[in-house]
Chain A
Amino acid sequence: MNLPSEQITINLGPQHPSTHGVFRLRVTLDGEVITDVEPIFGYLHRGTEKLAEERTYTQIVTLTDRLDYTSSMINNQAYVLAVEKLAGVTVPPRGQYLRVLTAELQRIASHLMGVGFFLQDLGASGTPLMYCFRERERILDLFEMLCGARVTVSYMRPGGVFQEPPPEFWPAVRHLLDTTPDAIAELERLISENEIVLARSKGVGVLTKEKAIDCAISGPNLRASGVAWDLRKADPYDVYADMDFAVPVGSNGDSYDRFLVRVMEVHQSIRIAEQCYRDMPGGPVRSELPFFFRPPPGDAYAHVEASKGELGFYLVSDGGIAPYRCKIRSPSFINLTVLAEMLLGWKVADLMVIFGSLDVNMGEVDR
Chain B
Amino acid sequence: MTRALQTAELVERLQGVAAEAVTVAAEGEVRVAPESLVAVCRFLKEEPEFAMDYLSSITGVDYLDFFEVVYHLTSLTHNHSLVLKTTLHGRDDVSAPSLTEVWEAADLQEREVWDLMGVRFTGHPNLKRVLTWEGFPGHPLRKDHLGG
Contacts and interface: CB of A to CB of B under 8 A. Distances in A.
A42 B132 contact: yes
Interface stretch (A11-19, A91-99, A228-236, A282-290): A228-236
B75 to A, nearest CB: 10
A309 to B, nearest CB: 10
B140 interface: yes
B5 to A, nearest CB: 14
Given A47-B140, A333-B108, A334-B109, A42 B131 contact: yes
B82 to A, nearest CB: 11
Interface in A214-255: 214-216, 227, 229, 234-236, 241
A234 B77 CA distance: 11
A164 interface: no
Contact of B59 (A45, A214, A241, A327): A327
Contact of B83 (A216, A301, A367): A301
Contacts of A303: 56
Contacts of B107: 215, 337
B140 A301 contact: no
B53 A42 contact: no
A334 B110 CA distance: 11
A150 interface: no
Interface in B5-63: 53-57, 59, 61-62
Contacts of A45: 131-132
A214 B79 contact: no
Contacts of B133: 42
A316 B72 contact: no
Contact of A236 (B1, B61, B108): B1
Interface string A195-223: 00000000000000001011110000000
Interface string A310-328: 1010101000000011010
B88 interface: no
**Secondary structure of the A side of the interface?**
mixed
A340 to B, nearest CB: 10
B76 A213 contact: yes
Contacts of B61: 316, 324-325, 327
A41 interface: yes
Nearest to B108: A337
A33 interface: no
Nearest to B59: A327
B103 A214 contact: yes
A366 B131 contact: yes
A216 B140 contact: no
A215 B56 contact: no
Contact of A337 (B62, B105, B116, B141): B105
B140 A50 contact: yes
Contacts of B109: 334
A119 to B, nearest CB: 28
A236 B55 CA distance: 19
A135 interface: no
B57 A314 contact: yes
B127 interface: no
B108 A336 contact: yes
A49 B116 contact: yes
B130 interface: yes
B94 interface: no
Interface in B103-144: 103-105, 107-109, 112, 116, 129-133, 140-141
Query: What are the 4 closest A-B residue pairs judged by CB atoms, nearest first?
Result: A216-B105, A235-B2, A42-B131, A329-B57
Interface of A: 41-42, 45, 47, 49-50, 211, 213-216, 227, 229, 234-236, 241, 299, 301, 303, 310, 312, 314, 316, 324-325, 327, 329, 333-334, 336-338, 366-367
Interface of B: 1-2, 53-57, 59, 61-62, 70, 72, 76, 79, 83, 103-105, 107-109, 112, 116, 129-133, 140-141
